[in-house]
Each structure stands twice: as structure tokens, then as C-alpha cells.
Structure 1
Amino acid sequence: MKTLLRITKLASLVMLFTLASCSDDDNGMAPPPEPTANIVEAAQATSDLSTLVAALQKADESANNDLITALSGDGPFTVFAPTNQAFADLLAQLDGYDSLDDFSSQQLQDLLAVILTYHVVPGAAAMSTDLSNGQTLTTLQGSSLEVSTTGGVFISDATDVAAQVTTADVETSNGVVHIIDKVLLPQAILDALADVILVPITDLALGNENLENLVAALVAADGDLPTALRGDGPFTVLAPTDEAFETFLDGASLDDIPTEVLTQVLLNHVIEGELYSTDLQSLGAGYTSTLARGVQDANISIFFDTSDGVTFNGVSSVVTPDVKALNGVVHVVDAVIDLPNIVDHAVANPNLTSLVAALTDGGNTTFTDLLSNEEEEFTVFAPVNDAFAAFTNPNSNDINAILSNHVVVGAAAFSSGLMNSYVNTAAEFDTDENLSLYINTDDGVTLNGVSNVAIADIVATNGVIHAVDAVIDLPTVVTFAVADPNFSTLVQALTELTPSTDFVSVLSAQGGAGDDPFTVFAPTNAAFEALAAIPAEDDLIPVLQHHVVAGANVRSGDLSDGITATTLEGDAITINLPGTGDNIADVTDGAGNTGIGIDAVDVQAINGVIHVLDAVLIPDTTN
């Protein structure tokens, strides 16, 4: 191309020189010099046509062809010259052809020659001004091309996509070249390469008689879906058969399904990226995401399992794998994959069968009814089978209460939004006092210090599941003290520093087996650090007892200004509302120290409640 530009500039200079040399009464103009480069030489000089030149050379490796000599001859010719990108697009469309080197046999080289001669119109050097709308051009290959001049200059071949002229009227000594953005294909080539020409996913579905219902659904849903699936992708599409759609509709019609719902169902069959059956089998089982949108507009998860064929969400099996398309891969499946809620995901995963069995034991529908509710959002921490196998239920707690302790109602908490904090579960201390759950994200995600998230963010329509490696038993006040790193000094004081008193056993009592329930005012590590020194054991024991009120589960809503409570140590504490500064409430201890702040309230355990203090309470040492 640079050479051609230099030739054009030279011709312009010559013309100007000639005009300047003419007398004033000479009205004639000397014609510009004729181009000296022929079509092949012009292509060789144009960097964006280097693949075209290589294709000519590859075709000429067959004894049947001599294209370079022919196109260097007298002509005249009109040549539509595909760019390097056009050839790259063609190779991407041919399954098994990564470069021109793959045209290695004489037969394939002759096919390449057929393609190339389809770009040559002999007997004329047709400038763009000579081309007209609807004009038919007969090529050197023998088939016709059709011209469109609407919105530019376009050349139509036997495919559905026309080539656009991007650079017109490159004159040569034996014709004219028009540079185009697509390789033109005659019908003969489409027939010869039918088995290897890849088409976009939408076109592949259009051409499959067993996917007519899928095509109809795509059209009935979002009108942009067929176009989207013709896009660059790549996509993995799970294409339900006609019979699968008939089963899904169950006598209804596509018109009976709201457009938005149908669109999401179809998008639940589209995975971004290419996943061939070998990719899935190498993974074995697991989750990926579809383009459907679930809770909080997150991409819905889909579970695949290759233990017996390839199945998705436990309901749909691949019957024809790895149908290659230009922009991805299609797996034909035998069932429509509906949008999964929390229960659907739990049932689909064979590693959650123990959880499902526990949830539905004895025909129990409480949990399935709750977690199928599409009007609510849930976060479910789902113990895997091994977790259930290892769980001994040491406190003989009600299994339904334990299961409830894995469910957060009213929020879908994704891993990216988790932090060291407390949330409430569906389990209850009494009738309306939901148990707390402590989430720690210092190293992964740990729950109540005993259970770790193994698989995060399984997205459903009504919530999110996190698979966990241990059953989360109903927590005692000791559970939270041990789990929360802000109480590590308190735990040390209750254990290592006071070996003569078994505070752990005392504060672990539940169900009326001891002095429970407890109301614990728990000092943070910072509260202990503010002391001049932690007292020795004999003095530390009454200090710790001064933080516990036995026999009552006193929540923040039960407090009133000036309320007093007697502690295990024997002295009373006084609580004033509201607190000063940032304090929720102020506490006066047995020694008369005032302004001790309650910073957090209502960490609810199965045997009591914790309120967090910013200072250590000191009992009256004079009595």
C-alpha cells in the first residue's frame, strides 16, 4: 500500500509539472502516467494483504494452479482483495484450520484456488463509480457476486454476510483492486467444506431440526438474544431438545410464560467461555455461572457432574456433546434447566445429600417451604456430607434447631461482602430471640470458630449458599468468646489464668442444667489492656464473676434506665440509658466506677446473651 501511495503522489507531481509547463493558450492536460505495478505486485507492496499473497502462493503449490502468473498478466481484472483480518476470520470459522499451512494437500490447495478466483472479475477494470446497486458480477471462478451501494459498497457471496469495500479504486497496470473486510465464499466451497465451516450458535440452532422450540423460545423471549448468540462470545450453550421444551411447557405455550422469566430461563443455559466435555470431565464436578441473573442481580450458579455422563443441576443430561460453533460450543441436553432456588441447588449437589435428608426427615416440609420462598432472601451455610458424618451432636440439641442455625433470613450475603461481624440465624433462644452467628474473615471464612466455607457464592434466585466443612452446633456464650478474637484475653482469663475454677463448664450449661441462662458483659482485649495489670487468680476470679448475671437472658430491649442486676460475684451493677458519647449504655460497677460503655449488644447464644464492654468491671472489694 505504501508503494501505491508513493506512485499516486509521483503521478500528482508529474501532472502539476506538466500543467506548469503549458502555455496560457494551451487548454489540454497531459494524462498522469500509467501505474507500473500489476495486481500481484500491488498486493505484495501492501502489508494488509500479505495473507492474500501467501494464499496465492499456497494455492500455486498445486500443479493445477498458476494464479500469480495469471494475475500478473494483461488483464484487465477487477479484484476484491480480503485483508489479513478477513483471512484470520475465515480460518477461525474453519474447524481444524489454524493457518494456511493446513491447506497441505493438492485437493485443499485447489479448493483455496477456487476461493481466490471467486474474488477476480475478468475482462474489466471496474472502478467504484462503475459499480451499481443490484449489479451482478461473474467471477473467474464462474459464480456470481452481487453489488450493493446502499450505505457504502458491499459485495454479497453465497453466505448471509456481505463484504464491505474498505479501500476502493487501487489502480494497477492490469486492473483495479478493491480491498474488502471478508473472504468471499461461493456455494461450491460451502458445500465442499460443510463439515468444517463453523457458524454462530444462533445459526447452528436454526439449522437443527431438533432445536426448533429453542429457536422459537429465543425469538419469543428477548428479541436481542438471537443476535447476542451470534456475537463474539465465546459461549457454552446447553441446548434443550424439542422434546425437552415440550416437557417443560407441560401443555402450555411459550406465550404463557412472561417474557422476562423466559429470557432468564434461556440465559440459564448460556455459560460465558468455552467448556467442552473434556474440560468438564477433567474437573469432575463443581459450579460455574450462567448468564441468568439471580438474587441481587448476580449470575446464577449451575452445578455440573460427570460421574455418570454430564449432567447439569441434577435435572438435565447432555445427549450430544461438543457441537462446535464459530463463537463457542453447544451441548444438546434432554431437559430445560429451570431457574434454581436454594432448595433446587441443595438437591442437585450429591455432596449435600445428608443436608437434604436432614431437612426433609420424616416428611418435614418446614425448611423446604421456607427456602423455596421467592419473596425472601436467604444466606445458607450448607454442611457437606463429610461434615454431617463427623458431627456427634454432643449437647443432644434438636436437629431442626441446628439446621436453622445455618440459615440467615432476610439477606443474601456474598463472600465479597463478608467481614468480621455477627449476624442472626433462623435458630432461636426462645420464641423471638434469634441466635447470633460470628463470621470471621481473617483467614478464609470461618463461622463460630468451628466451620469453614469450602465453596462460596452458590447463587440461586432467592439467595446464596456457602458450602461448609463442619456442622455449626448451637452456640453457647463460651462459643462466641472463643470464636471472636476480640475476646482472646477474656478467654485466657477464664482458662489459663484461673485454673482452679472451671468457668468453661459453668458458662456452657444449657437447658437449665446449671445457672443458665446467662447475661454476660464481656470486656474486649482493649478493656483488659487498659488495666494497670491483670489481677492474680484469687482477685481475678471475683472480677470475672462480676461480669456474669445468672438465671436471666437480659437483652437490650429489656434494659431500662437505672436498672440493676446482681452478678455471680454478689455485687450489683447499674445500667443507665442512653449511654454517653458513642456508648449504647453506661454501666456502673460494684466498685462505683462509672461511664463504662456497652459498645455492642445482643450477641445471642443458646444459653444466654453477651453485651460487649469497653472496660473491665471491678467488684466492691470492701465487702
Structure 2
Amino acid sequence: MERFSFIFLLSLVTVCTGLNLYEQLTALNATTLLSLVDKAGLSSVLKTGGSFTLLVPTNHAFSKLPDADLAAVTNNQQKLTDVIKYHMINGVHYQKEFLFGRHHFYNSTNGHVIRVYRSASGTHFNQATAVKSNITASNGVIYLINTVLDVPEGTVIDILGNKAYNISKFLALVHKAKLDVNYAMPTGINRYTVFAPSDAAIDAVPAATIQSLSQDITNLRMLIEYHVHSGTMHARTLAKHHFVRTTLPAHNISVTTSSSGDITLNNMAHVTLTDIEAENGVVHIIDHVLMPMILNPIIG
């Protein structure tokens, strides 16, 4: 009994004297995130708060961000706080919790969804891959990741309606096709990759074609569904594929990636803006409307 009590007390001492999350970041030389945590005034949260699962982009991950993007975040206290809190999940979640081939969804500490899944290539958090897992701290666990996570800008529908992206005409077609409910759910198992034509791309289609498609909800739905892939596919993954399955049955999109990394769909639509993170997927903006073969008899 005395020996058991001694071991029990020793285990308590081990837990109590372990490094907290902030101290672990220092030990891991995660200097970029540490400086941002300090600037956001969140150091005390990592020292005494929790427990948290902390997703830590490496210094190299931060170095891949354009200087202007990083400056825009660091110079805005609210954005900076949101970015850091998006990399924090309440509770301790070890890698064994993430089952192979299954998608898991967790809420970040600022209320957004993070998708976690394990595959043969590793453990993934949204578009990031863990380079080191299960680094324990007295108030949580750390995963080192190779990419800074983008804070979601709302649902797919929210992004399509964001005037800054000039893709609202595609949203209008989604509304007419009565598919907006599909893409408006922030949580759930359905995730989407949407290739959204710009307003200019919609305008380039003959007005008679758009009118003809809009008069038949079935045809309009086929057009929309041809611009959607079931699942989340960020640009880095998209560039590795030669084709992408769409939600329109038996209709794929071909993918070509240049030596400079530019992505073209069906040899005509250039991806002009990638990886707009949504709660329920990701949106890429393209400069050409994709027409599925099944609609050829209609559009001529």
C-alpha cells in the first residue's frame, strides 16, 4: 500500500512539473508561433489554460506564407487572435483517436470546424499534415503541422456571396437550381470542393445559353453539379491529379498543372484563386464556365 501511494504521488509530481504548452513551444523552437501568441496576448492561456490540442505550424510553414498575407494578420489583433485560436481545440486528442479512413470533425476554440483524418500519408488537419504527433504537455498535446491553417470564411454559400470574390452570379444560379441548402450546412459529413466561375466567366457565356439552362431546373442542376467535387480538395492535392470526379455522375474534370504550378481544368478554365477555406469545404475560382457533355445537345 505504501509503495502504491509513493508511485501515485510520483505520477502526480511528474504531471505537475511537466512543461506546459507554452514551454513546449519554446522547447520545440516554434519561434514564429510563439511570437504571434505573445503579440496576441494569449501566452497566459497556453501556460495555465486548457486542456488543449494545439496545432503548431512549423517555422518553415510560416515562411511559405506571402509576406503581405502574414503582415495583414499580424497587424490586425482580431485576425491574429482568430488565426491562433483556430489552431486550438478544446480537450486532449491523441493520434489513436483518429481512425484510419474516417473523417473526424472538431470545433476550434473560436467556433470553427477542423476536419481531421488519417491515411497512409499521415494525419491531416484540413490541408495540413502532421510532421510530429502526440507531443505531450501538462495542459494538452501538440501536433507540429506543415501548413498554416486558413480560418474558414463561412460556408460555401457564404463565400459565393462574398462580393470581394466576384462570384455572386454563380451563386444566383445555385439559388435558381435550389441547391443552396446543400452547400449551406456548416457541419456534417458532406464536404465540397467548388470550382466557382467568376462573374466575368458567367458573362462570357451567351445569354441565350444561360437563359435556356435556367428554364429547366434539371439542366441547371447538372451544370452546377459539374462544378462540384464531393470532398475537400485543396490546390496542393488537386495539382497531383489528372482528373477530378464531380457530383454529376459519370462526368469528370481533367486537370493540368504547369511547371510553375498553375492549374487548368478541361484545358480551358484557369484556376485564378485557390483554397478559399469554408466550414464545409473549399472554393477555387476559375475564369471559364465548365460545360458537361450531357448538356451539349442543349447548348449546341
TM-score by length of 1: 0.26
- Change over 3 Å in CA distance of 1:286–1:345 after alignment to 2: farther
**Partners of 2:56 and 2:277 in 1: CA distance:** 25
Counterpart in the other structure of 2:13? 90
**Are 1:263 and 2:81 counterparts?**
yes
Question: Are the aligned partners of 1:220 and 1:255 in contact in 2 as well (CA < 8 Å)?
Answer: no
Once the 2 structures are TM-superposed, how far is the Cα of residue 279 of structure 1 from its aligned partner?
0.9
Once the 2 structures are TM-superposed, how far is the Cα of residue 241 of structure 1 from its aligned partner?
0.6
**Are 1:309 and 2:128 counterparts?**
no
Question: Are the aligned partners of 2:52 and 2:92 in contact in 1 as well (CA < 8 Å)?
Answer: yes
**Are 1:277 and 2:95 counterparts?**
yes
**Are 1:287 and 2:287 counterparts?**
no
- Change over 3 Å in CA distance of 1:345–1:238 after alignment to 2: farther
What does 1:598-613 correspond to in 2, within 5 Å?
none
**Are 1:199 and 2:19 counterparts?**
yes
Once the 2 structures are TM-superposed, how far is the Cα of residue 204 of structure 1 from its aligned partner?
0.5
Once the 2 structures are TM-superposed, how far is the Cα of residue 325 of structure 1 from its aligned partner?
0.9
**Partners of 1:325 and 1:88 in 2: CA distance:** 14
**Are 1:212 and 2:34 counterparts?**
no
Once the 2 structures are TM-superposed, how far is the Cα of residue 318 of structure 1 from its aligned partner?
0.5
Question: Are the aligned partners of 2:86 and 2:151 in contact in 1 as well (CA < 8 Å)?
Answer: yes
For residues 277-299 of structure 1, the C-alpha deviation after alignment (integer angstroms, 9 at most, x for no partner) is 1111357212111012xxxxxx1
For residues 163-187 of structure 1, the C-alpha deviation after alignment (integer angstroms, 9 at most, x for no partner) is xxxxxxxxxxxxxxxxxxxxxxxxx
Question: Are the aligned partners of 1:206 and 1:215 in contact in 2 as well (CA < 8 Å)?
Answer: yes
For residues 321-345 of structure 1, the C-alpha deviation after alignment (integer angstroms, 9 at most, x for no partner) is 1111111110000111121124679
Question: Are the aligned partners of 2:152 and 2:278 in contact in 1 as well (CA < 8 Å)?
Answer: no
Once the 2 structures are TM-superposed, how far is the Cα of residue 249 of structure 1 from its aligned partner?
4.9
Specify the code of the residue in structure 2 equivalent to 1:200: N
Question: Are the aligned partners of 1:286 and 1:304 in contact in 2 as well (CA < 8 Å)?
Answer: yes
For residues 509-530 of structure 1, the C-alpha deviation after alignment (integer angstroms, 9 at most, x for no partner) is xxxxxxxxxxxxxxxxxxxxxx
3-state DSSP class of the match of 1:206?
A: helix
3-state DSSP class of the match of 1:398?
A: helix
**Partners of 1:367 and 1:325 in 2: CA distance:** 49
Counterpart in the other structure of 1:332? 144
Q: Percent identity?
A: 19
**Partners of 1:309 and 1:346 in 2: CA distance:** 31
Specify the code of the residue in structure 2 equivalent to 1:396: T
Specify the code of the residue in structure 2 equivalent to 1:302: I
What does 1:143-542 correspond to in 2, within 5 Å?
198-209=18-29, 211-221=30-40, 223=41, 225-250=42-67, 252-253=70-71, 256-281=74-99, 284-292=102-110, 299-307=111-119, 308-313=121-126, 315-342=127-154, 365-366=167-168, 380-381=184-185, 384=190, 396-399=218-221
For residues 465-507 of structure 1, the C-alpha deviation after alignment (integer angstroms, 9 at most, x for no partner) is 59xxxxxxxxxxxxxxxxxxxxxxxxxxxxxxxxxxxxxxxxx
Specify the code of the residue in structure 2 equivalent to 1:220: K
Question: Are the aligned partners of 1:51 and 1:87 in contact in 2 as well (CA < 8 Å)?
Answer: no
Specify the code of the residue in structure 1 equivalent to 2:148: V
**Partners of 1:53 and 1:276 in 2: CA distance:** 27
- Change over 3 Å in CA distance of 1:54–1:291 after alignment to 2: closer
- Change over 3 Å in CA distance of 1:261–1:384 after alignment to 2: closer
Counterpart in the other structure of 2:246? none
**Partners of 1:385 and 1:52 in 2: CA distance:** 53
For residues 47-84 of structure 1, the C-alpha deviation after alignment (integer angstroms, 9 at most, x for no partner) is xxx989954xx8xxxxxxxxxxxxxxxxxxxxxxxxx9
Gapped regions of structure 1 (runs ≥ 5):
1-49, 59-83, 94-196, 293-298, 348-355, 357-363, 371-377, 387-393, 404-460, 467-623
Specify the code of the residue in structure 2 equivalent to 1:244: A
3-state DSSP class of the match of 2:143?
A: strand
- Structure with higher RCO (Cα < 8 A, 6+ apart): 2
3-state DSSP class of the match of 2:151?
A: coil
Question: Are the aligned partners of 1:217 and 1:254 in contact in 2 as well (CA < 8 Å)?
Answer: no
Gapped regions of structure 2 (runs ≥ 5):
161-165, 173-180, 193-215, 226-275, 282-300
Task: Name which one, 1 or 2, has greater alpha-carbon Rg.
Answer: 1
- Change over 3 Å in CA distance of 1:259–1:381 after alignment to 2: closer
For residues 246-285 of structure 1, the C-alpha deviation after alignment (integer angstroms, 9 at most, x for no partner) is 2235355488530111011000000011111111135721
**Partners of 1:312 and 1:368 in 2: CA distance:** 29
3-state DSSP class of the match of 1:339?
A: coil
**Partners of 2:34 and 2:136 in 1: CA distance:** 18
3-state DSSP class of the match of 2:184?
A: strand
3-state DSSP class of the match of 2:142?
A: strand
For residues 126-166 of structure 1, the C-alpha deviation after alignment (integer angstroms, 9 at most, x for no partner) is xxxxxxxxxxxxxxxxxxxxxxxxxxxxxxxxxxxxxxxxx
**Partners of 2:33 and 2:191 in 1: CA distance:** 37
- Change over 3 Å in CA distance of 1:367–1:228 after alignment to 2: farther
**Partners of 2:66 and 2:14 in 1: CA distance:** 40
**Partners of 1:201 and 1:340 in 2: CA distance:** 25
Question: Are the aligned partners of 1:343 and 1:368 in contact in 2 as well (CA < 8 Å)?
Answer: no
**Partners of 1:344 and 1:316 in 2: CA distance:** 20
TM-score by length of 2: 0.51
**Partners of 1:201 and 1:345 in 2: CA distance:** 36
Once the 2 structures are TM-superposed, how far is the Cα of residue 317 of structure 1 from its aligned partner?
1.0
Question: Are the aligned partners of 2:156 and 2:279 in contact in 1 as well (CA < 8 Å)?
Answer: no
Question: Are the aligned partners of 2:191 and 2:280 in contact in 1 as well (CA < 8 Å)?
Answer: no
**Partners of 2:190 and 2:73 in 1: CA distance:** 40
Q: CA RMSD in A?
A: 4.4
- Change over 3 Å in CA distance of 1:462–1:324 after alignment to 2: closer
Once the 2 structures are TM-superposed, how far is the Cα of residue 215 of structure 1 from its aligned partner?
0.4
Question: Are the aligned partners of 2:73 and 2:79 in contact in 1 as well (CA < 8 Å)?
Answer: no
Question: Are the aligned partners of 1:316 and 1:336 in contact in 2 as well (CA < 8 Å)?
Answer: yes
Specify the code of the residue in structure 1 equivalent to 2:221: I
Question: Are the aligned partners of 2:122 and 2:130 in contact in 1 as well (CA < 8 Å)?
Answer: yes
3-state DSSP class of the match of 1:330?
A: strand
Question: Are the aligned partners of 2:48 and 2:139 in contact in 1 as well (CA < 8 Å)?
Answer: yes
**Partners of 1:88 and 1:219 in 2: CA distance:** 31
